[in-house]
Amino acid sequence: MTSPKILRWPRIAYTPALDMQQKAVAARMAHEIPDTVFLLEHEPVYTIGRQRDRSSLGTLPLPYPVEEINRGGQATFHGPGQLVGYFIFDLQALTPDLHIFLRWIEETLIALLMKYNLEAQRREGLTGVWIEDRKIASIGVGVRRWITMHGFGLNVGYDLSGFNAITPCGIQGVTMTSLSRELGRNVSIEEVTTEASDIIAARYPLLRPRTA
């Protein structure tokens, strides 16, 4: 297979989506499914990696539920107007290097934003994607026996108020932005999902080991 299976889901609450991911990880581990990508939106929720430092969640209670999950990183927000991508990939068959995989996600999102004539970039020491000093996408993954889960959240819509109650990704003073804000027009999730599907499929072979 030259590209992963890419599935589009309607807006979904976080808990059933997490269950969906966990079942997919088990199926990928058993070689029952190919590498798979879920593209979707969430109902409003905050997530944070499993760690002692929870200061990025700010002052509780928060306006939306909090989920502690098996990914790296501090708190972030998911909600309507954000395209979420979950990767269920067997890295051992692709590139058994988590750092390379993270950089691949970043470069894939940068390529996606180039479709909209937006020049995005990585920032040294800060996983994610930025436009100048504004963060447009957050990235966090988990790995179990080289099978990945979680992925990215790309801000698409104008409304970013869900981030106001937290310190996004634990970065003090960070300014969050979105595709719609940068372009000055409303961009739909449906449109970006189509573009993301094409970019992910096109860039997937870059994760495969090179042959002599």
pLDDT tens-digit readout, 34-44: 999 999 999 99
Q: Average pLDDT, stretch 85-111?
A: 96
- Please answer whether residues 47 and 67 qualify as being in contact, where contact means their C-beta atoms are separated by less than 8 angstroms: yes
Question: Does 211 map to a domain?
Answer: no
Q: Evaluate whether residue 101 is within a structural domain.
A: yes
On whether residue 209 sits in a domain, the answer given is no
For residues 196, 201, 204, 205, the Cα torsion angle rounded to the nearest 10 degrees is -150
Q: Looking at the 3D structure of the chain, how many domains does it have?
A: 1
Ranking 20-24, 44-48, 50-54, 102-106 by mean pLDDT, the lowest is 50-54
- Domain range for residue 169? 5-204
Is 84 part of a structural domain of the chain? Answer: yes
Sorting pLDDT into bands at 50, 70 and 90, what band is 50?
A: confident
CATH number of the domain to which 111 belongs: 3.30.930.10
The pLDDT, as a whole number, for residue 36 is 98
Q: In this structure, is residue 66 part of a structural domain? A: yes
Question: Mean pLDDT in the chain?
Answer: 93
Catalytic (active-site) positions: 169
Residue 35 has φ and ψ, to the nearest 5°, of -55, 135
Q: Comparing 12-16, 66-70, 167-171, which segment has the lowest mean pLDDT?
A: 167-171
Distance (Å, whole) CA 157 – CA 42 = 13
Predicted local distance difference test score (pLDDT) of residue 212? 37
Q: How far apart are CA 192 and CA 9, in angstroms?
A: 13
Flag whether 210 is in a domain: no
